[in-house]
Amino acid sequence: MAERIATIASRVGLHARPAAIFAEAAGDQPLEVTIALEGEPIEDALDASSILSLMGLGAEYGTKVVLRAEGEGAEAILESLAGVLETDHDA
Amino acid sequence: MSESFAGVGVSAGRVIGPVRRMPDPIIAPADGAPLPAGVSIEEESARLAQATAAVAAGLKERSAAATGDAAAVLKATALMASDRTLLKSATKLVASGTNAESAIWEAAEAVAMQLTGLGGYMAERATDVLDVRSRIVAQLRGVPAPGIPDSDEPFVLCAVDLAPADTATLDPARVLALVTSDGGPQSHTAIIARSLGLPAIVAASGTTVLSDGDILFVDGIDGTVVRAPGAEEEALAQAYASRVALPEFSGSGALKDGYAVPLLANVGSGSDAQAAAAAGAQGVGLLRTEFCFLGRDTEPSHEEQVSAYKAVFDAFGGSKVVVRTLDAGADKPLPFLTDDSEPNPALGVRGYRTDGSVPGVLDRQLKAIAQAANGSDADVWTMAPMISTPAEAAAFAAMCKDAGLKTPGVMVEVPSAALLARQVCAEVDFASIGTNDLTQYTMAADRQLGALAALNDPWQPAVLHLIKATCDGGAAVESGPRPVGVCGEAAADPALAVVLVGLGVATLSMNRRALPAVAAILKTVDLPGAQRIAQLALNAASADDARNAVRNELPELDIFGL
């Protein structure tokens, strides 16, 4: 399983607007991608394409999250999704 | 055949348009209600999935048609409707034998509670989740989605009454007029209509029979609604549409003879204040400081308050800004200040009275106002709401002095303060009449009750007599006359504004959108004329008689379509 740690760059945290952008991007991927706060057990990982799960994470600016996916091209997919999280969408 | 309904006109204008009814709010399904007989779990799950997909598609479509922030919000809401995690947990409930409505209701409730638990911004998003939930349930039931209806053509919005949350999403470009069967002249519907400049009629109890597609004539001036209007109404609407445009407010209110009547603005935030300054307001006659406090569980910090007040002061450097201290209670409860178990909150511990039950909050607010005032060149005046006795006025003045605030004042909303205005005003530097509450207390008529709308009218001669008593009392203070202003909705009614000036009111404070109309009508009378017109209103036996007698003296109202 591929893993990628990303740091939330939106100053307001992963709230509605940045969460919407990310959920849509995650939903467009051919693989199922999960997201969890860094250090949380893998069983607690949530569906990254669910805007409500993303908002429920309560990830603030600077919070580190872990993206995971399994399958062909997983690493490249996680890399591009991490890029979305590491952009400040409120700028 | 045309049919007419009577109500109370609360915002001027005459228009014709099709009806869209405000849908009834969605009623919660029963907890864990079972699947309908003969429906399989698979069928019910599919029905739920279809409903969420349909709601998401509808929101997505609206998002594509919108721009900017609205588009972003709609898009996020669409994603919530089609959220896989939400659908999964609801489907699980369906699998355990719950019907689709109850399942989505419960699943969304859990998500909303989780967001509320996070606090701050996420907590505010919980309402979006609940809104999506109502939309999905409406879809499952086959009833219209809650909220302001969607329509491509402009319409007359008919409702029982509108809540502040409804009016926040009201697009004045698509709504021609507001008609409610309930609500009074001081209801949220009336206030929002005036601030958006939309014709509006409230307390038109017969209008519950109107339905989508009916064509209506709405006369916000005399308070009538006509279904299937004829040539006569057509002509009135035409005349209104071709009314003489009001000149922009020059930034200096005065009567025809040059007698100065400063026109100020009622504001509730820094951005509001900037808009008011741009509209020419000569200062702020009412800064509602609740904006800092509402929707909070705890008192805002000193720094937070200072910066919020300073944002308003900075918009009016060199001008007067009248700050009203926290007016919590009754229809504006605050968890850390008011007791919501009072049987009669309008007559309860509200406004200045909360200083007795929860001391400290007012002191700290006055200190924050003083610090913000020191850092700006606005001329800051400070007044307390709901003052009833000279002793309360004196106590408030002493608190202001301790905090370093130099111009203390009181609001006159309670009839006792109007009747003892000389003694009350002697303790402070000025008074400002809150006509909404003064009317409610004089007439003993709840301002939100449509059934009492006719009583709850600031044109009631009894209210006008109390306004006169307040002005007379202020002028009779031995140590020098005290100015009396008006900052209620009455000041925004151009005909009533003439009466107020004639009664001795020194300044008028209103929603900034009312400034051009009030300024234009004041310009048509001189001071003796205003005094004579005020006397006509005082002598009238009813609010309607007073209004008609005054309107007859002010022909310019019709020219401007006011």
Give the pLDDT score at B441: 96
Give the pLDDT score at B168: 63
Q: Check pLDDT > 70 for residue B374.
A: yes
Mutate to test the interface with A, among B69, B84, B118, B130 (most CBs of A within 10 A): B84
Compare B169 and A72 and report the one with higher pLDDT: A72
d(CA B494, CA B261): 13
Q: Where are the domains of chain B?
A: 3-22+148-241, 41-141, 263-559
In tens, the pLDDT along B412-450 reads 999 999 999 999 999 999 999 999 999 999 999 987 777
Chain A nearest C-alpha distance from B90 (Å)? 14
In tens, the pLDDT along B255-304 reads 999 999 999 999 988 888 999 999 999 999 999 998 777 767 788 899 99
Give the pLDDT score at B297: 76
As a whole number, mean pLDDT of residues A26-38 equals 93
As a whole number, mean pLDDT of residues B390-398 equals 98
Task: Give the pLDDT band (50/70/90) at residue B152.
Answer: confident
Q: Do A52 and B122 touch (CB under 8 A)?
A: no
Q: Which CATH class is domain B3-22+148-241?
A: alpha beta
CB atoms near residue B451 (< 10 Å): 13
Chain A nearest C-alpha distance from B83 (Å)? 5
Q: Give the active site residues of A.
A: 15
Q: Do B83 and A52 touch (CB under 8 A)?
A: yes
Q: Check pLDDT > 60 for residue A91.
A: no
Q: Check pLDDT > 60 for residue B514.
A: yes
As a whole number, mean pLDDT of residues B521-547 equals 97
CA neighbours within 13 Å on the CB side: how many for B274? 6
Least confident stretch, B83-92, B95-104, B317-326, B485-494:
B485-494
Q: How many helices (H) and strands (E) does chain B have?
A: 22, 16
Q: Which CATH class is domain B41-141?
A: mainly alpha
Q: Do B80 and A51 touch (CB under 8 A)?
A: yes
Whether A30 contacts chain B with CB within 8 A: no
CA neighbours within 13 Å on the CB side: how many for B456? 28
- Nearest Cβ partner for A52 among B73, B75, B86: B86
Between A and B, how many CB-CB pairs are < 8 A?
A: 48
Core vs surface per residue A64-74: b (16+ CB within 10 A) or e:
ebbbbbeeeeb
Q: Which residues contact B220 (CB under 8 A, 6 or more apart)?
A: B9, B10, B11, B12, B13, B14, B177, B193, B199, B200, B201
As a whole number, mean pLDDT of residues A49-53 equals 93
Mean pLDDT, chain B, rounded, equals 91
Core vs surface per residue B382-404: b (16+ CB within 10 A) or e:
bbbbbbbebebbbbbbebbeebe
Whether A17 contacts chain B with CB within 8 A: yes
Is there a contact between B261 and B255 (Cβ–Cβ < 8 Å)?
yes
Q: Which residues contact B260 (CB under 8 A, 6 or more apart)?
A: B252, B253, B254
Most confident of B20-24, B49-53, B129-133: B49-53
Sort out which chain B residues have CB atoms less than 8 A from A46's CB and list them.
Answer: 85
Q: Tell which CATH classification among 3.90.76.10, 2.60.40.10, 3.30.1340.10, 3.40.50.300 matches the domain A2-85.
A: 3.30.1340.10
Chain B nearest C-alpha distance from A51 (Å)? 6
As a whole number, mean pLDDT of residues B42-71 equals 88
- Angstrom distances, CA of residue B135 to CA of B93, B111, B126, B132, B502: 19, 16, 14, 5, 52
Q: Which residues contact B131 (CB under 8 A, 6 or more apart)?
A: B77, B146, B147
Q: Do A51 and B79 touch (CB under 8 A)?
A: yes
As a whole number, mean pLDDT of residues B387-405 equals 97
Helix (H, G, I), strand (E, B) or coil at B345: helix
Task: Give the pLDDT band (50/70/90) at residue B482.
Answer: very high
Whether A87 contacts chain B with CB within 8 A: no
> B263-559 — its CATH code?
3.20.20.60
Helix (H, G, I), strand (E, B) or coil at A64: strand
As a whole number, mean pLDDT of residues B233-248 equals 89
Is there a contact between B317 and B377 (Cβ–Cβ < 8 Å)?
yes
Sort out which chain B residues have CB atoms less than 8 A from A12's CB and list them.
Answer: 121
What φ, ψ does residue B504 adopt, rounded to 5°? Answer: 115, 10
DSSP B147-211: SSPP-SS-EEEEES---HHHHHT--TTTEEEEEESS--TTSHHHHHHHHHT--EEE--GGGGG--
Task: Give the pLDDT band (50/70/90) at residue B337.
Answer: confident
Sort out which chain B residues have CB atoms less than 8 A from A45's CB and list them.
Answer: none
Task: Give the pLDDT band (50/70/90) at residue A54.
Answer: very high
Mutate to test the interface with A, among B83, B91, B116, B125 (most CBs of A within 10 A): B83
d(CA B135, CA B121): 22
B188 is catalytic: yes
- Nearest Cβ partner for B84 among A49, A56, A58: A49
Give the pLDDT score at B165: 63
| Nearest partner of A85 among A3, A4, A10, judged by Cα | A10
As a whole number, mean pLDDT of residues B479-504 equals 95
Give the pLDDT score at B39: 92
Chain B residues bordering chain A (beta-carbon distance below 8 Å): 72-73, 75-76, 79-80, 83-86, 111, 114-115, 118, 121-122, 125, 128-129
Q: How many residues does chain B have?
A: 562
d(CA A59, CA A23): 14
Enclosing H/E stretch for B422: helix B421-426
Sort out which chain B residues have CB atoms less than 8 A from A14's CB and list them.
Answer: none
Q: Check pLDDT > 80 for residue B546.
A: yes
Percent of chain A with pLDDT over 70: 98
Most confident of A42-56, B127-141, B472-486, B506-520: B472-486
Q: Do B76 and A20 touch (CB under 8 A)?
A: yes
Q: Where are the domains of chain A?
A: 2-85
Give the pLDDT score at B287: 96
- Nearest Cβ partner for B111 among A16, A56, A58: A56
Strand partners, B411: B432
Q: Check pLDDT > 90 for residue B405.
A: yes
Q: Do A51 and B121 touch (CB under 8 A)?
A: no
8-state DSSP, B513:
G
For B76, the closest chain A residue by CA position comes to A20
Residue with tokens 């919005």: B157
d(CA B483, CA B334): 32
Q: Angle at Cα B373 formed by Cα B367 and Cα B374, nearest 5°?
A: 90
Q: Which residues contact A70 (CB under 8 A, 6 or more apart)?
A: A1, A2, A31, A32
For B87, the closest chain A residue by CA position comes to A50
Chain A nearest C-alpha distance from B60 (Å)? 12
Give the pLDDT score at B530: 98
Task: For CA atoms A8, A13, A18, A24, give the dihedral sign.
Answer: positive
Is the ipTM of this structure higher than 0.85?
yes
d(CA B12, CA B239): 13
Q: Check pLDDT > 60 for residue B80.
A: yes
Give the pLDDT score at A10: 86
- Nearest Cβ partner for A52 among B72, B85, B121: B85
Chain A nearest C-alpha distance from B531 (Å)? 56
Dig out the tokens for B334 from the structure: 């605050």
Is there a contact between B189 and B180 (Cβ–Cβ < 8 Å)?
yes
- Nearest Cβ partner for A50 among B72, B75, B84: B84
Helix (H, G, I), strand (E, B) or coil at B537: helix
- Angstrom distances, CA of residue B262 to CA of B78, B377, B392, B488, B532: 48, 19, 28, 15, 21
Helix (H, G, I), strand (E, B) or coil at B3: strand
Give the pLDDT score at B193: 84
Percent of chain B with pLDDT over 90: 64
Task: Give the pLDDT band (50/70/90) at residue A90.
Answer: low
| Nearest partner of B536 among B491, B496, B492, judged by Cα | B496
Give the pLDDT score at B167: 66
Angular region, B247: left φ>0, alpha ψ -120 to 50, beta rest: beta
Whether A55 contacts chain B with CB within 8 A: yes
Whether A12 contacts chain B with CB within 8 A: yes
Dig out the tokens for B189 from the structure: 């519907």
Q: Check pLDDT > 80 for residue A16.
A: no
Chain B nearest C-alpha distance from A12 (Å)? 9
d(CA B33, CA B23): 24
Dihedral, B388, B389, B390, B395 alpha carbons, nearest 10: -80
Most confident of B30-34, B74-78, B277-281: B277-281
Dig out the tokens for B143 from the structure: 């009833």
- Angstrom distances, CA of residue B268 to CA of B189, B290, B308, B446, B467: 18, 8, 10, 24, 25
